[in-house]
Each structure stands twice: as C-alpha cells, then as structure tokens.
Amino acid sequence: MNNTINSTNFKFPNQTNFYKGKVRDVYSINQDKLIMVASDRISAFDHVLSKGIPYKGQVLSQIAAKFLEATSDILPNWMEATPDPSVTIGKKCDPFKIEMVIRGYLTGHAWREYKSGKRLICGVPMPENMVENQKFKNPIITPTTKADIGHDEDISREDILKHNIISEEDYVMLEEYTYALFNRGTEIAVEKGLILVDTKYEFGKDINGVITLIDEIHTPDSSRYFYLEGYATRIKNNIPQKQLSKEFVRQWLIENGFQGKDGQSIPEMSDDYCNEVSERYIELFELITGDKFIKEDVSNVIVRVEKNILNYLSN
C-alpha cells in the first residue's frame, strides 16, 4: 500500500544517527535532539508484519502527544514539537535501561503467570483466589528490562537495585512518577467510559540530569483498555472483557497459525484486512481522546513528512 509509511531514509541537516525500531524511525540531530517518525508498521509477538496500516502512525503520534501534554504537570517530558501528524521532535535523553510496567488488573502476561500457579511477579506478591481481569486492590509495578535484541524480561525491584541498573534514589522517583501517571491516565479513561488496565512508561535523564518521560504513553500499542460499561457483569459471569488495544491483531494472527514461534510463518494481510485494522485504530483514537480523527493527506506521505520536518528544522 503506497499510502503508508513503511520505512524512511531521510538525511537531515546535522543528522548524527539513525535508529529503526519495530514501529518508529528515530533520527538524532546534533547531540541534543531526536526526530521520531511513527511509521505505519505494525508488530505483534515481536515480529513486524508484512504491510503497513494506513494512518496508524498518525493515530499513535497524536494520542501520545495529547497524553504527554495532559501529564506535563507531573514531570517533564521529551516532546518539544509535532511538525507533522506522524512526527514528534524533542530533547534527547539518556534512557534508563528498564521499562516501568504498571498493572491495575490481573490480565495478559500477569494472568498467564498466575494461571500457571505463580503468585509472585517481578517480586510482587499477588493474592490468592483471583480471577482473570479482576482489579488489584492497588496497582502493582512489574518492571521489565529493555532488551536491544530479543525479548524484554521481567525483573524485580530488588534485582534492579542489587545490580545497580538504577540508583535507589532514582528508582523511588520512577515509582512515584509511574503511580502518578497511571492515576492521571485512569481518570482520563473513566471520563471516556474506559478502564486503563495496564501500561508501560519509559524514562530517561535530560542533559541537566532531570528525570524525563520519554517515548509514547497511553496509546493502544503501549496500553490496554477495557470498556467501563459491562465490566462488572462480565467479571461476575466469567465472560471475556471488551478490550481496546491491538489485541484483535494478535487474535487474528493466532487464528491464522502464528504466535511468533520457531517454524511459523507470518500470514499475509490482505489490503481489505489492513484497511479494517486502520479503521479499528481510528476508532481507538476517537474513544481514547474524545476527539474526531482527521485523516491527513497520504497521497505522498513520505514527501509530506520530510517537508514538514525540514520546515521545522529550518525555522
């Protein structure tokens, strides 16, 4: 599909580095600025799928920008400008080597661990006799490592401090910020008739050593949402919750014989299915933000993105 951002190969003035992640293309400018292009690539089970999803990058970029603005009173964040709907430009930070995952409900990875008989996750105890998707009495923080290659791994607070991955002083601040961000995200979600189930935050330090929120927050790629209406009834009757996340893509892959395991082939997505996924992402945007999604001109999307970035840099 030629109206998607599948890859970029820009050469900007004073560009010093380029990094291609699963979903984002990140350009370093001098030593202090990052240009993050949210591509339309989609990943699941740690694999990038074969086709891009129209408007996906715009959806993620604009949700993240909205929530970064809505939480900027809690702590500084890296964002400085959004010169294009799929682009964020901001200050370069030295990232902490962990991700702060916070869970308000027993679901996903935590539920799979619980169902297997475990009652500790990342060193955090989970009560007996819980059911899938049940709310924890208080949200729990279950950090993971940030792997450059391969899978992120669960890690406990004790191991983070023992191996001096982060100082105790910094880690205490990350915990405080994580709870505060999750509380704010929860409040905003309730206003939209949603439940913020779990999410992850990434932090770094800016050039002055100030702890700073980096990357995206509260998007359907980094977070899980349930619908508030019907939640209690579904729990009572042991019915799966209505979810707002990219879980529907994972389910489609599972139905088509792919879970990222050795020997499995990624199924081919038809254009019709890609457009269906696009509409789901737009629906997520409108529910999560409460705003009407405005489709930008994607007739020559790569040229548009490059032009908008260059205009910003020149000014």
Q: What is the CATH number of the domain that holds 133?
A: 3.30.470.20
In this structure, are 196 and 123 located in the same domain?
Answer: yes
* pTM greater than 0.85: yes
The neighbour count for residue 206, using CB atoms within 10 Å, is: 17
In this structure, are 110 and 179 located in the same domain?
Answer: yes
Residue 10 lies in a domain: no
In this structure, are 124 and 215 located in the same domain?
Answer: yes
- Full residue range of the structural domain in which residue 259 is found: 15-93+248-314
In this structure, are 182 and 309 located in the same domain?
Answer: no
Q: How many domains does the chain have?
A: 2
Q: What is the DSSP string of 140-160?
A: EE--EE--SSS---B--HHHH
pLDDT score of 149: 54
Could you read off the pLDDT tens digit of each residue along the chain, which spans 315 residues? 468 999 999 999 999 999 998 899 999 999 999 999 999 999 888 888 989 999 999 999 999 999 999 999 999 999 999 999 999 999 999 999 999 999 999 998 999 999 999 999 999 999 999 999 999 999 999 999 986 655 679 999 999 999 999 999 999 999 999 999 999 999 999 999 999 999 999 999 999 999 999 999 999 889 999 999 999 999 999 999 988 878 788 889 989 999 888 889 999 999 999 999 999 899 989 999 999 999 999 999 999 999 999 999 998
CATH number of the domain encompassing residue 299: 3.30.200.20
In this structure, are 99 and 158 located in the same domain?
Answer: yes
User: Do residues 29 and 43 make contact, with C-beta atoms less than 8 angstroms apart?
Assistant: no
Question: 221 in helix, strand or coil?
Answer: coil
CA dihedral 181, 236, 287, 21 (to 10 degrees): 60
Among 179, 202, 218, residue whose Cα is nearest residue 90: 202
